[in-house]
């Protein structure tokens, strides 16, 4: 388990009250995170939570939806067409999940508001939240351009309760930020908060396509391994050049993003007692030269005017449970693990047709099926140095799939359009005379994969994956024996 997982577990234990802190440690409310709010009142509304945690949005100077606007004149993102307009930028929020405490007194939600604005929660009974923000743009440009675009950024937030303060104190910390990119989980720009992370979180908005990307230090420049520190090789970054129609699905390069002027930022409506306002205030005025967006709850599918804007329904309907928030019980271990682990999507499976061709011998030129699954079966393992992935591969080939192989495969990413790979393992081979042969094997080559959701073949995504690919490799039976070198080709579905 990585260090950040141990740290996350420690914070969780503290939040449940299993470990008592000293009064000095407790009332400082530090714990290694930047505090985004603290106070003595445990009651907070959904709209207040969204205001304290809201991100800064930073646009490219050539963002087409800005129509040349800058500073206080920016009105993007905006309201959905079926909702009342507002003379300001508008961001939508959703409190997706709430994890309650084991030792709680009373209810988590103490007052319901049907509009989900003034719904009131009791932080004394809450460990944390999943808080999502959504951004609506009337159009997008580039490959696969279309009317209407909804992008998102997710926050995982801890609610800390001080048990030993003279006056009971509460605080909110953002543990991680997940900035979504083009609807693919592998492209997520994920930043786990560290000592260099500055809040409010700045989100770089991709020109024309509007993918979201974290900017840890507010410098307007995406720096891999710094602004994104999880699944770095697969993270999308911010690629302003996508507006021109190119796919550019390889690794991020610095020339893909444009410089962002300060007057293309819009700011969250931070409340007056927010500790984050001071950095962006001049002469007592908060963000005096920039637009400040308003907040609304994310609408329900039933609110969409399907007659006037029929294509808008799926943009709202596919964003998850409309009956948010979902309250998870900390007494249920499965609920706790589900809330803490946001990377379950990488429990992926790939399946492909495989063809082996050897230079000589009686067992050459055989076809079969190849399966790839996570190294730990239920969880993939990433290389902590280079950012690649270790996975299991098994293939069955020859007559009635009688031959079998298991090998450990390493590849540099799960989403780049071309990757190298290396595999090492064993083959168990039965010949036509019923004799069994066991050989060590090695294989190396390249895999070409394509995200089908951006092509005319996007209907293939119904099989459960957006990626299809071809693997071409050089295979050898044995380690020191180089007489059995041949080739292997795999064609199939899945990121691996």
What string of H, E and C letters represents the secondary structure of 24-89?
A: HHHHHCCCCCCEEEEECCCEEEHHHHHHHHCCEEEECCCCHHHCCCCHHHCCCCECCCCCCCCCCC
Cα 294 to Cα 287: distance, rounded to the nearest angstrom: 14
Element (DSSP H or E) covering residue 6: helix 3-16
Check residue 342 and give its pLDDT.
57
Residue 407, domain CATH: 2.40.160.20
Mark whether 414 and 319 lie in a shared domain. Answer: no
Cα 65 to Cα 76: distance, rounded to the nearest angstrom: 7
- The per-residue pLDDT string of the chain (496 residues; one tens digit each, 9 = 90 and over) reads 444 444 444 445 444 443 333 334 445 544 445 789 999 999 999 999 999 999 999 999 999 999 999 999 999 999 999 999 999 999 999 999 999 998 778 889 999 999 999 999 999 999 999 999 999 999 988 776 778 899 999 999 999 888 777 788 899 999 999 999 988 888 999 999 998 999 999 999 999 999 999 999 999 999 999 999 998 999 999 999 887 766 666 778 888 899 999 999 999 999 999 999 999 999 999 999 999 999 999 999 988 888 878 888 888 888 888 899 999 988 888 888 777 775 565 557 899 999 988 755 545 568 999 999 998 887 888 888 888 999 999 999 988 888 999 999 999 998 888 999 999 999 998 877 778 888 899 999 999 988 777 666 666 765 667 788 999 999 988 777 777 788 999 999 988 8
Mark whether 306 and 362 lie in a shared domain. Answer: no
Could you say which of 342, 358, 393 is where a domain stops? 342
Are the C-beta atoms of 215 and 227 separated by less than 8 Å?
A: yes
Mark whether 7 and 80 lie in a shared domain. Answer: yes
Q: DSSP class of residue 164? A: S
Q: Which residue in 55, 57, 59 sits closest to 261, CA to CA?
A: 59
Mark whether 322 and 366 lie in a shared domain. Answer: no
Mark whether 357 and 216 lie in a shared domain. Answer: no
Q: Reduced to 3 states, what is the DSSP secondary structure of residue 223? A: coil
Are the C-beta atoms of 161 and 123 separated by less than 8 Å?
A: yes
Check residue 459 and give its pLDDT.
65
Cα 120 to Cα 45: distance, rounded to the nearest angstrom: 4
Are the C-beta atoms of 254 and 238 separated by less than 8 Å?
A: no
Mark whether 360 and 336 lie in a shared domain. Answer: no
**What backbone torsions phi and psi does residue 52 show, to the nearest 5 degrees?**
-70, -30
Mark whether 330 and 395 lie in a shared domain. Answer: no
Check residue 13 and give its pLDDT.
46
Check residue 172 and give its pLDDT.
94
Which tokens go with 284? 């007592």
Mark whether 355 and 276 lie in a shared domain. Answer: no
Determine the structural domain holding residue 414 and report its residue range.
Answer: 346-493
Q: Reduced to 3 states, what is the DSSP secondary structure of residue 278? A: helix
Number of domains observed in the structure of the chain: 2
Mark whether 318 and 257 lie in a shared domain. Answer: yes
Mark whether 288 and 374 lie in a shared domain. Answer: no
Mark whether 387 and 482 lie in a shared domain. Answer: yes
Find residue 244's DSSP bridge partners: none
pTM for the complete prediction? 0.87
Mark whether 368 and 314 lie in a shared domain. Answer: no
Classify residue 183 as left (phi > 0), alpha (psi -120 to 50) or beta: left
């Amino acid at each position: 388990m990585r260090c950040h997982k141990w740290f996350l577990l420690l914070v969780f234990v503290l939040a449940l009250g299993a470990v008592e802190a000293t009064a000095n440690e407790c009332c400082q409310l530090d714990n290694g995170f930047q505090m985004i709010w603290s106070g003595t009142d445990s009651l907070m509304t959904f709209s207040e939570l969204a205001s304290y945690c809201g991100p800064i949005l930073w646009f490219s100077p050539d963002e087409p939806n800005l129509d040349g606007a800058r500073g206080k004149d920016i009105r993007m993102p905006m309201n959905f067409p079926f909702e009342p307009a507002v003379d300001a930028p508008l961001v939508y929020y959703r409190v997706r999940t709430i994890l309650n405490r084991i030792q709680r007194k009373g209810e988590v939600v103490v007052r319901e508001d049907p509009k989900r604005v003034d719904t009131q929660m009791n932080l004394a009974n809450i460990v944390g939240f999943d808080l999502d923000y959504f951004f609506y743009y009337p159009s997008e440009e580039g490959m696969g351009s279309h009317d209407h675009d909804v992008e998102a950024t997710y926050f995982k937030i801890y609610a800390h309760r001080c048990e030993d303060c003279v006056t009971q104190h509460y605080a909110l910390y953002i543990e991680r930020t997940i900035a979504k990119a083009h609807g693919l989980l592998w492209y997520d720009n994920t930043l786990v908060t560290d000592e260099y992370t500055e809040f409010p979180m700045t989100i770089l908005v991709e020109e024309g396509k509007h993918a979201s990307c974290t900017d840890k230090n507010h410098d307007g420049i995406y720096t891999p391994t710094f602004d994104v520190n999880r699944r770095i090789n697969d993270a999308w970054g911010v690629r302003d050049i996508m507006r021109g129609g190119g796919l550019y699905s390889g690794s991020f390069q610095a020339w893909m993003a444009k410089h962002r002027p300060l007057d293309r930022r819009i700011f969250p409506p931070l409340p007056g007692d927010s500790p984050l306002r001071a950095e962006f205030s001049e002469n007592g005025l908060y963000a005096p030269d920039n637009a400040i967006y308003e907040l609304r709850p994310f609408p329900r599918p039933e609110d969409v005017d399907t007659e006037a804007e029929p294509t808008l329904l799926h943009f709202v309907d596919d964003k998850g449970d409309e009956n948010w928030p979902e309250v998870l019980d900390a007494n249920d271990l499965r609920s706790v693990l589900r809330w803490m682990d946001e990377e379950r999507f990488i429990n992926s499976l790939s399946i492909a047709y495989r063809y082996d061709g050897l230079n000589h011998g009686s067992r050459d030129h055989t076809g079969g099926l190849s399966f790839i699954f996570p190294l730990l079966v239920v969880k993939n393992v990433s290389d902590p140095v280079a950012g690649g992935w270790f996975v299991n591969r098994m293939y069955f080939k020859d007559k009635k799939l009688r031959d079998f192989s298991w090998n450990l495969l390493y590849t540099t990413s799960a989403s780049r359009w071309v990757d190298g790979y290396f595999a090492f393992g064993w083959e168990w081979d039965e010949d036509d005379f019923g004799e069994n042969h066991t050989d060590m094997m090695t294989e190396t080559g390249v895999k070409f994969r394509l995200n089908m959701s951006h092509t005319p073949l996007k209907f293939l995504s119904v099989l459960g994956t957006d990626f299809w690919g071809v693997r071409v490799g050089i295979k050898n039976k044995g380690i020191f024996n180089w007489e059995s070198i041949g080739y292997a080709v795999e064609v199939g579905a899945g990121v691996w």
